Structures are given as structure tokens and as C-alpha cells.
Structure 1
Amino acid sequence: MTTQSDNTEVNKEFTEECTTMLAAVSDALYAIGGKWKLMIIIAMARGNNRFTELQRKVSGISARVLSSELKELELNGFIVKKVTSGYPVTIEYELLPYSHTLEELVGAMTRWGIQHRVKIKSER
């Protein structure tokens, strides 16, 4: 039989686990959250490395927002900005190896998104 002190200890463990989980999800959302970051990374993984290519592939994103998101992705170690001197100056963005740590997450989100779309359509 469980005593009151045992229940308190179980709740405390759950709270610590919950706190850890919340902190981890918060960190992930900080790094890749929002509407655009993962879409930019996916577009880059398909070979779109120039600003205008990315803006065309990620439909709906403004130049200002794309610029801001690229800076944040660079700060978080997912991409690097490469400037080639010469005429004309070319700017390309390249995925860093760290971005490949998102493959499992993107795959899971893709599967869930497809499943969710089917569910919503079937309920209408």
C-alpha cells in the first residue's frame, strides 16, 4: 500500500520530469520554432541556396522575414552565409552538418501533417 509520503515523492519526480521536458521543448521551439525556419531548412536541403531561390520556394515569406529567419538560423548553427567576392558579389547559404540533426523531426512532422490533413478532410 502506498503512503502519503510515497505519493508526494512520485508527484515530485513527475514535476522534475515535466520541468525537464518543458525546458527541452522550449529550447527546441526557440531554435526552430515559428512558421518559417523548418520550411527554409527543407528548401535549402533540396538545393535552394540563394536568397531569391529561397523566397520563391518558401511561398508567402517576405524578404524582410526571410532575412531575419536566415540570421537566426545562422546564429543557432544550422546554416552559414557564404559571400563570394568578385563581380557580381554572390551570397549563398549552406546547411551545416548540425542541420541534419533535424531530419528525424522533419520526418515525424511530415507524417503527422499528412495524417492530420487526412483526418480534417474526412471530418468535413
Structure 2
Amino acid sequence: MLAKGGCPKTMLSISDALEALEGRWRLLILFALSGGPKRFRQIAREVPGITDKMLSKELKSLEAHKLIRRDVYDTFPPTVEYTITPHGLSLEKVLDELHYWGLAHRKKVIGK
């Protein structure tokens, strides 16, 4: 159920959430990482259509919002792995609901 409009605290919290998750890629990256830690190339393969430049930018933003963690291992060359944080995992219900809404929306708009 949607909260009643006009509540400044509700508007602020929605605005904060949208800032952390804005754009077409961040939720898809989080979904890709929900299966476990991945390296940059693995994420790029799992998120179709994203460029390396955009992936790099979005990973930095997700890290700044504490939704993912970047681990650098002392190997040659250095190994970098990205992991979803517990804070990022707290979006599981949001991703599930978006998935179900997307299925219903596709059916209603496209008919498939």
C-alpha cells in the first residue's frame, strides 16, 4: 500500500532510496552480485548492454552507498572482487517485488 502523499519524511526517504538506486544498471548489478562475489568481467557478462565505463562508475557509486564491497587481493596482477553487503542484501524484497511487477507489467502492456 502506498503511503499518503505530502509527508516530508516519506518524500525524503524515497528520494534517498532513488538516489542510491538511480539509473537502469544499479539494481541489475546488485541482482548479479546476489549470487555471490564476482569480478568485474563476470559482472559485465551478467549485465547485458552495460559498458565497462558505466559499470565502473556504477560500482563506485554502489560502494559509496555501502551496498557493495570492493576487495583487492595481493596477487599479480591484483585480483578485485565485488560482494554485496548485508545492507545491499536488504533490497531482496524490493528486487522480488520489482520482478513480479515487471512480469505483470509486461503481460499487461505487451501481452506476453
Same fold judged by TM-score > 0.5?
A: yes
Q: Which has the higher contact order (CA 8 A, sep 6+)?
A: 2
Alignment pair present for 1:101 and 2:90: yes
- SS at structure 1 position matched to 2:100: helix
Q: How many pairs align?
A: 109
Gaps in structure 2 of 5+ consecutive residues: none
Alignment pair present for 1:36 and 2:25: yes
Alignment pair present for 1:76 and 2:65: yes
Structure whose residues are more often helix by fraction = 1
- SS at structure 2 position matched to 1:73: helix
If the length of structure 2 is used for normalisation, what is the TM-score? 0.89
1:64–1:114 Cα change, 3 Å? same
- C-alpha separation in 2, matches of 1:14 and 1:103: 25
Question: What RMSD in Å do the two structures reach over aligned CA positions?
Answer: 1.8
Gaps in structure 1 of 5+ consecutive residues: 1-12
- C-alpha separation in 1, matches of 2:5 and 2:21: 27
State the 1:94 CA deviation. 1.0
What corresponds to 1:56 in structure 2?
A: 45
State the 1:122 CA deviation. 2.7
Q: Answer yes or no: is the 8 Å Cα contact 2:33–2:83 preserved in 1.
A: yes
- One-letter code aligned to 2:65: N
Which 4+ runs in 1 deviate beyond 3 A?
Answer: none
Calculate percent identity across the aligned residue pairs.
35
- C-alpha separation in 1, matches of 2:5 and 2:54: 39
